[in-house]
């Protein structure tokens, strides 16, 4: 079949690869250049983890991870950094305890660490005496930008065609097929279409009134004291997340200077076509406060900072469905700030539905 994928971020790039591997005539459309920084999937790193208070996501991650491993093997490069995941919080924190309960229910091993054992095991990190940490080995981070480029490169190797700087503005399902129209007015017919346009999906499908909110998010890389740098290597430091407050950070990723820190919360509403407001002191101050509390060897100087977009659903669950009364056109969306790790699974499932 001749199948188009509109939007080549985390989900779209993976779907294009799967379609090409299956022998379909796969065509991908990207409104910007590949690897652009306007959407949700760019940058060096995204967390993968089994540690959710809702065991539904733990089960999804167990399905998704072998697909990431297969991508890494086929690409022949390191895309997965299995450094583990550490949750920090008050000993009675309800989210922390819910995560432990969910892991128990799914048979996933984990460890509790107090402040002394945490300092010995992971000397870069700190918790207070009244706090504890939950460590789970089967987590870490994915090299996000490299994962997307690997998917696209392998898709092309299997025969897919990628059109960059080509914006789709209209989808027109007809008895003869689903027609796509570009911003320049060109029209192409496809047997099937997969829409993975992220923050631009509500604009592409205005008649659906999708309950999605696009927000501006920020992250920054901070300098580490030179004598403490060995403590921040992935071999000695896991990805970490504060329960309830949801500040989070990474070890040094080896590709960008400093350590990455961010705050998982809904930022200000953002039109994806408008320039995002540059990162300013109001964005950085909460990160510095968290660093002073958790990572005393990190300096307050931000080496770099950037924005990205969340496409948020009300319940943070993902959308994977056909257009109303149109099974030839499917859409996948709403990562809600935690979807990169599942993107390859959502792509696989969408391809199975689309080609059934």
Domain residues for 23?
A: 2-40+145-212+315-355
The pLDDT of 160-173, averaged and rounded, is 98
pTM over the 0.85 mark: yes
User: Does 270 lie in the same domain as 223?
Assistant: yes
Number of domains in the chain: 2
The pLDDT of 105-115, averaged and rounded, is 98
Cβ-contact 250, 94 below 8 angstroms? no
Domain harbouring 199, CATH code: 3.50.50.60
Please say which residue of 279, 294, 312 terminates a domain: 312
Q: Where are the alpha helices (DSSP H) in 36-79?
A: 55-75
User: Does 341 lie in the same domain as 285?
Assistant: no
CA–CA distance, 263 with 284 (Å, rounded to integer)? 10
Judge whether residue 338 has pLDDT over 90. yes
- Read off the pLDDT of residues 322-335 as tens digits, 9 standing for 90 and up: 999 999 999 999 88
Q: Is residue 208 part of a domain?
A: yes
- Read off the pLDDT of residues 290-309 as tens digits, 9 standing for 90 and up: 999 999 999 999 999 999 99
In sequence order, what DSSP letters do the residues of 75-103 get, joined into one string?
HTS--EE---EEEEEETT-HHHHHHHHHH
User: Does 117 lie in the same domain as 74?
Assistant: yes
User: Does 102 lie in the same domain as 19?
Assistant: no
User: Does 129 lie in the same domain as 183?
Assistant: no
Q: Is residue 45 part of a domain?
A: no
CA–CA distance, 69 with 61 (Å, rounded to integer)? 12
Q: pLDDT band at 354, cuts 50/70/90?
A: very high
What contacts 286, CB < 8 A, 6 or more positions away?
247, 263
- Read off the pLDDT of residues 62-109 as tens digits, 9 standing for 90 and up: 999 999 999 999 999 999 999 999 999 999 999 999 999 999 999 999
- Amino acid 282: pLDDT: 97
Strands, sheet with 168-174, edge to edge from the N-terminal-most edge strand: 168-174, 177-182, 187-190
Domain harbouring 123, CATH code: 3.30.9.10
Q: Is residue 49 part of a domain?
A: no
User: Does 228 lie in the same domain as 158?
Assistant: no
User: Does 291 lie in the same domain as 243?
Assistant: yes
């Amino acid at each position: 079949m001749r199948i188009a994928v509109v939007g080549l971020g985390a989900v779209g790039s993976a779907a294009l690869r799967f379609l090409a591997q299956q022998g379909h005539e796969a065509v991908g459309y990207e409104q910007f250049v590949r690897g652009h920084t306007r959407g949700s999937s760019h940058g060096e790193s995204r967390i993968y983890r089994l540690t959710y208070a809702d065991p539904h996501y733990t089960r999804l991650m167990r399905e998704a991870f072998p697909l990431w491993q297969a991508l890494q093997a086929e690409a022949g490069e390191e895309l997965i950094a299995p450094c583990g995941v550490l949750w920090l919080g008050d000993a009675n924190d309800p989210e922390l305890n819910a995560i432990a309960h969910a892991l128990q229910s799914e048979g996933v091993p984990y460890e509790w660490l107090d402040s002394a054992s945490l300092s010995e095991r992971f000397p870069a990190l700190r918790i207070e005496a009244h706090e504890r940490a939950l460590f789970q080995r089967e987590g870490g981070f994915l090299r996000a930008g490299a994962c997307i480029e690997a998917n696209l490169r392998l898709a092309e190797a299997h025969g897919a065609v990628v059109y960059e700087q080509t914006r789709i503005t209209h989808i027109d399902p007809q008895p003869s097929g689903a027609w796509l129209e570009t911003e320049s007015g060109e029209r192409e017919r496809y047997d099937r279409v997969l829409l993975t346009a992220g923050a631009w999906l509500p604009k592409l499908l205005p008649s659906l009134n999708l309950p999605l909110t696009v927000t501006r998010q920020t992250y920054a890389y901070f300098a580490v004291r030179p004598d403490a740098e060995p403590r921040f290597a992935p071999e000695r430091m896991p990805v970490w997340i504060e329960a309830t407050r949801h500040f989070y950070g990474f070890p040094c990723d080896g590709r960008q200077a400093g350590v990455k820190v961010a705050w998982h919360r809904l930022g200000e509403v953002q039109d994806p076509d408008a320039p995002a407001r540059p990162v300013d002191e109001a964005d950085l101050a909460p990160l510095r406060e968290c660093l002073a509390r958790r990572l005393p060897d990190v300096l307050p100087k931000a080496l770099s900072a950037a924005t990205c977009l969340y496409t948020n659903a009300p319940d943070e669950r993902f959308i994977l469905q056909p257009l109303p009364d149109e099974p030839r056109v499917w859409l996948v969306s709403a990562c809600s700030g935690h979807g990169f790790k599942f993107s390859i699974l959502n792509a696989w499932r969408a391809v199975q539905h689309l080609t059934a």
